[in-house]
Structure 1
Amino acid sequence: MLKDGGSNIDLKSRKVLRTLTKKNPSDLVLVIGTGVSAAVAPGVPALRSWRCCIEAVIDAAEQFEVLHPGDIVEFRKRALREQDLLVVAHDLIRKMSPRTGDNTPSFFQDCLMEVFDDLETHIQNPTILESIISLMDKGATVLTTNYDNLLELYGQKIGKPMESLDLNDKAKVMQWAQSRLQYGVLHIHGLYTRPCGMILDPSGYKDVAQDNVLLDELQSLYCRKSFVFLGCGETLRDQIFQALFLYTMPNKVSMEHYMLVRKENADAFYKLQADMLLNGIKLMSYGESFTNFPLYLTGLSALICKA
């Protein structure tokens, strides 16, 4: 049962796995997906999902007249029908960049700056961020697949020395992987304020891949720490996540990781549970409604920190 009387949290209908609540925060890697940002700032459509983010960028490109109307139509169709949205995002960036393929200068940054304008003022539910930061206070490592920096903005507001990292800064990434940057947040796809750090397919991280020491350090994290997926949907299918953490894992079943999910449909939930166990991931349902997510995560964080 998930209960913390000191914080007036009592979720009698939900269970929490003791193997997770008994872990030390320093043994955890928190993987932040779009669900976290969507709960924190529900008023920003681009934060609701990767698909919504791409659609918002396409809308901004239309407003700024940086893409041909025919391209706008085609990208909207692709955003709706294609499953691999990273490929769509990659092609969208290239279309708004110089023909050399270099993404500096690029209209893509202008579109992202428009989409994520004044993010801090849109924070409506900071309890999730507070829960994540409380785990960071006690040593948890954090990475995200998101472009936004809501966590860092809020952390700085409450006096934490938060730092955004991307894969271009290998020295900092090494420090992060070795738990020497307590308040560092690794954006494996880059950050909207630094489009040069955006990596959208495996070829984009070649500098990291060619650094065997760094790559070994990253991939060892999946063996020696427990990943906790928060607000994540298709993260395990993400090519960059796979390349950084999964490619060299011969036996993922022996791992012990966790994923918080919504249980909308019993059949779908138990099928996903069986699939995830093949990757050493235990599912934990926070309820049938997304509105339960912030309260569940707050209680879970309190239990882990108390332990």
Structure 2
Amino acid sequence: MTLRLAVTGLKGQVVSALIERAPKDVEIIALGRPQFDLEMRTAVLAGLRHARCNAIINAAAYTAVDKAESEPDLAMRINGEGAGHVAEAAAELGVPLLHLSTDYVFDGALGRPYREDDPTGPTGAYGRSKLLGEEKIAATHGDHAILRTAWVYSPYGANFVKTMLRLGESRDEISVVADQLGNPTSAIDIADALVLIARRLVSDNSTSLRGIFHLTGQGDASWADMAEATFAAAERYGRKPVRVARITTADYPTPARRPANSRLDNEKLAARYGVTLPPWRESLENCVARLRRTP
């Protein structure tokens, strides 16, 4: 039987990866603007009814972290109220909902990787909007898996790896923050995991498979570590060397305050689903291999 997955978003990193990676028995129905807009409840309900899906993946979001500080209401409408609209549709249709959330729901002050039951405390508008989305879903539809991920990169769209490669074309040294820690995560790995999780949710009603889970690549890194790995991989494919100057968060002020510790603990996902993403360095190497350019 074909598994039909309705995915919110048309051009995001995760939906692009899902379209590319979906097995032959999985059909991806991508829904996005202008017809499908998370802010518009009626459009969300109509679009998802028409999709006739077995499960819904809410991958669309307002992701401009710094811009959200000047557009908090818009971020709340898309990431908060919009997620609630998707949950309402999933409840009406009686299908599982997989929702992508973020490490930014935490304040970053903890000295270890965050577990799912650790207190949240977002420090910016983006994180607050994503937390509202989690809360709306939990209050609306019990058949859900909220999946917090972080530092997403891929061969698609705009992301840190592609930015570093672009900057490296014209610079010999780039300054990158070294005192923020997290888990770089490939959108391709996320997509593969989402298909596995969706299959389980559709076939297994166990309450242990519902709730909040963390979904990130294996291993910790700073942004500077990630940049150095990107340039090292690019050099193996013929690109010129690029040095990384390791700086502090204070040296690179931004409108939104980033968590100093964005590391997420993935043990719950591994225990409940048997899903573990590959080491981030391995997946980043594969990503750079696809993006390689010769001077």
Say yes or no: TM over 0.5: no
Relative to its length, the structure with more helix (as a share) is 1
Relative to its length, the structure with more strand (as a share) is 2
Instruction: Report the TM range for the smaller structure's normalisation.
Output: 0.3 to 0.5
Asked which structure has the greater RCO (Cα within 8 Å, sep 6+), the reply is: 1
